Structure 1
Amino acid sequence: MGEWVKSSCNSPVPHNAFVAGRDVDGSRIYVGRAAFQGDVLPAKVIPNNRVAYVSHNGSEHRVQYYDVLVGQEYEWVVCGDGLVPANAISPGTTSTLERLYVGRVRHNNSLTIGKVQPSRGCILIPYCHREHSFNSYEVLVKKQRPKLWKSQSY
């Protein structure tokens, strides 16, 4: 679910990229995904830093090649404890095929993204060289179109 555009740290931000938050310096954070050690992980894309970040095995890792989520038909839903809505955006899986989801939290004056990993019951964000976990978070979902129904005449 979602449309992804290939990108890299040397490329401009794709047209219509989805803005997910702001870093501590006010830089925009975009939703990305990146392959890393057999996983496909949500990536925190910060063009001003010329890098994207993923969290893996307790650490923050930099990646140079990634995909960026484009489109504006997304919204955030408050969740927690590993729960995700049915229409949540899943950029990939772990090497053991566990589905991961895009989430975000407020941390140290930033609104930043990470991976919601249901088996761990939390969101894990890459921040200052470490992986940080939070039980409460927002999950990125595809906006639902209103269901149309025909009114019955009485």
Structure 2
Amino acid sequence: MAAIQYKRPARWVPGHGGYLPHRPVCGGEGAHGPVYVGMAEHDGRYILGMIVPSEGVCYVPHDGEAIAKETYYVLGNPGAVTMCWVGASGGYVPSGALEGGRGEDGETLFIGRVMVDGVVSCGKVVPSRGVCLVPYGGAEHSHRDYEVLCSKNIPVKLI
């Protein structure tokens, strides 16, 4: 009997100074071009944020600030997984949502994005607080209405 193997929907790839791997996950159009889903270490924790290639950094929202990090991780889509952004609000997380890490208390966080002043900013959905937190304009912004990154399909193959 053949075994079934699922393709990995996404993976975190190390980056620095604007580097993007093959097939990075785009978060949308920022103030200076496309932005990408990212994560960076800050104060011993990994925080979801957005990579702005034209600035060579990943911005992460933390304690009211948008913190720029030159060393980060880029979310890549290594396979033929179809991803989409699904509208949500108030802490709701749709089926197929991609996990993006854990909060200080161990809560599962999800990859989210919002529109701020006509541009997209990526960050973290915190279900217990009912918001998506994103970096923008030097500050951390909290939004009750947001979109969550979800996988529509995960291809399988027999091995």
**TM bucket normalised to smaller:** 0.7 to 0.9
CA offset at residue 2 of structure 1? 2.1
SS in structure 1 of the partner of residue 20 of structure 2: coil
Counterparts of 1:1-154 in structure 2 under 5 Å? 2-9=10-17, 12-25=19-32, 27-71=33-77, 73-144=82-153
Unaligned segments of structure 1, at least 5 residues: 147-154
Take 1:92 and 1:35, find their aligned partners in 2: how far apart are those partners? Answer: 12
In structure 2, distance between residues paired with 1:105 and 1:43: 12
Task: Give 5+ residue unaligned stretches, structure 2.
Answer: 1-8
Q: Which has the higher strand share?
A: 2
Find runs of 4+ consecutive structure 1 residues off by over 2 angstroms. Answer: none
C-alpha RMSD of matched pairs (Å): 1.7
- Larger Rg computed on CA atoms: 1
Change (3 A) 1:143 1:61: same
Q: How far off is 1:63 after superposition?
A: 1.1
TM-score (norm 2): 0.83
Corresponding residue pairs, total: 144
- In the superposition, the TM-score normalised over structure 1's length comes to 0.86
How many percent identity over aligned positions?
35
